[in-house]
Amino acid sequence: MDTADTPLLLSSSHDGKGEEEDGKPVTSVVRSFGIESKKLWKIAGPTIVTAICQYSLGALTQTFAGFVGELELAAVAVENSVVAGLAFGVMLGMGSALETLCGQAYGAGQIRMLGVYMQRSWVILLTTACILVPVYVFSPPILELFGETTEISEAAGTVFSLSLSLSLSLSLSLSLSLSLSLSLSLSTYFLEFWYLMVLVVITGRLENPLIPVDAISVCMNIQGWDAMIAIGFNAAISVRVSNELGAGNAQTAKFAVVVVSITSMAIGVVCMAVVLATRDYFPYLFTNSEAVAAETTKLAILLGFTVLLNSLQPVLSGVAIGAGWQWLVAYINIACYYIVGLPAGILLGFTFDLGVMGIWGGMIGGICLQTAILVVITSITNWNKEAAEAESRVKRWGGAAADQ
């Protein structure tokens, strides 16, 4: 491949030299950082806008519901976080398989395979959307089964149609998965996305849950908007990594990971600072209840820390998707989230009587552990080996079609 076509490579070989031999290593790195940032933002920008617009349909509904009453806010929060969140997690999770396969096929020059993967995905996604419909139709008894109060469950069930439309629309708007890799991607994203959403369900088991559920729903609303930014960078880095690995540019893929991590963390720090600086004011954008606003203000510190963690963690998951590590991340998610984080949250919240602060704090511990493990794995990755594996994967999944 011509060096002119790969401006991030400092030389035609992948030895990291090039312009460093001219005595300008700092200038070279800064220019390369800028070039890679432009590539990332070209992908992340439109993705962030699209994700925010889709998410805002439910988030703004929740905002208006907060001015109607506490029960209405709790009902819409449960619908957005748990019921609609199920569809979003499943569909987005299945999509990560196609990000891996299409990205690496494009990088390898197998353009024809993009259409093949897309055609297969339509059938799978529409079928999955139809399978999810009964979950929404019977959402009140399902929510009660998980411990939600009857009052909140029945109120949440009245807005199930929004979840139904979300499920069907996502099957058409997302470019999603491919049969055998379905389980990999579904487990990766679903376990990850629904982890914080289940916080609303657990909070509903507290005594007098209406105020805590309202407060945590306001925080999850804010966190959800911030997460849409992270999803944009998740998509961008998965595309960049898969493209470069498919093209055999191992060091370029590695450099892209560094650039997106720095960029996303910088945005996370800014968002955390905004949350902490406005913690006495932003609750009133979602509710006119003094009790809910006061409870939300107490949770602002945990919200800010969650926002910071979620600026890096989805990016590392995007790296895993681009490299095709979905199974590995799924195992890490299960261990960190549901074996460590969730039990710790339940223990702190109920046994030590720390309430929603304890539940959320324990679950944040699971996120910290997962992020630390992903940082270590990404740091020690042999990217040349991953590039070779990407070439093998394109041939294996493409079959006869890839050879045409």
Residues 6+ apart with CB under 8 A from 276: 300, 301, 304
Position 133 in a domain: yes
- Asked whether the CA dihedral 230, 236, 241, 242 is positive or negative, the reply is positive
Please count the other Cβ atoms lying within 10 Å of the Cβ belonging to residue 352. 10
Q: What is the pLDDT of residues 135-155, one digit of tens each?
A: 777 878 878 887 777 877 877
**Helix (H) or strand (E) segment spanning residue 188:** helix 182-203
Confidence (pLDDT) at 153: 80
51, 228 in Cβ contact below 8 A? Answer: yes
178, 317 in Cβ contact below 8 A? Answer: no
Determine the Cα–Cα distance for residues 367 and 192; give it in Å rounded to an integer.
9
Instruction: Please state, in angstroms and as integers, the Cα–Cα distance from residue 396 to each residue in 131, 343, 390, following that order.
Output: 29, 40, 10
Above 80 in pLDDT, residue 213?
Answer: yes
Q: What is the token pair recorded at 160?
A: 């199930």
User: Which residue is it, tokens 């996303």?
Assistant: 264
Position 297 in a domain: yes
Position 354 in a domain: yes
Q: What is the token pair recorded at 64?
A: 């208006």
> Has this prediction a pTM greater than 0.85?
no
Confidence (pLDDT) at 27: 82
Domain total in the chain: 1
Q: What is the pLDDT of residues 298-319, one digit of tens each?
A: 999 999 999 999 899 889 988 9
Position 1 in a domain: no
Confidence (pLDDT) at 36: 94
Of 165, 170, 155, 163, the closest CA to residue 73 belongs to 155
Position 201 in a domain: yes
75, 168 in Cβ contact below 8 A? Answer: no
Please tell me whether residue 108 adopts helix, strand or coil conformation.
Answer: coil
CA 99, 105, 109 angle in degrees (round to 5)?
140
Confidence (pLDDT) at 205: 84
The better pLDDT of the pair 39, 70 is held by: 39
Instruction: Please state, in angstroms and as integers, the Cα–Cα distance from residue 239 to each residue in 40, 57, 116, 297, 317, following that order.
Output: 9, 26, 18, 38, 12
Task: Please count the residues of the chain.
Answer: 404
Q: What is the token pair recorded at 26?
A: 């700092």
Which domain, by its residues, includes 219? 25-402
Of 311, 317, 344, the closest CA to residue 333 belongs to 317
Determine the Cα–Cα distance for residues 227 and 56; give it in Å rounded to an integer.
12
Position 11 in a domain: no
**Helix (H) or strand (E) segment spanning residue 39:** helix 25-65
Confidence (pLDDT) at 217: 84
Mean per-residue pLDDT, 26-36: 89
Instruction: Please state, in angstroms and as integers, the Cα–Cα distance from residue 76 to each residue in 9, 34, 158, 300, following that order.
Output: 49, 42, 9, 21
Determine the Cα–Cα distance for residues 344 and 199; give it in Å rounded to an integer.
12
Position 96 in a domain: yes
Q: What is the pLDDT of residues 347-363, one digit of tens each?
A: 999 999 999 999 999 99
CA 152, 73, 287 angle in degrees (round to 5)?
150
Position 14 in a domain: no
Tell me which range, 130-134, 226-230, 257-261, 391-395, is most confidently predicted by mean pLDDT. 257-261
- Least confident piece of the model among 33-37, 179-183, 395-399: 179-183
Q: How confident is the model at residue 277 (pLDDT cuts 50, 70, 90)?
A: very high
Residues 6+ apart with CB under 8 A from 142: 135
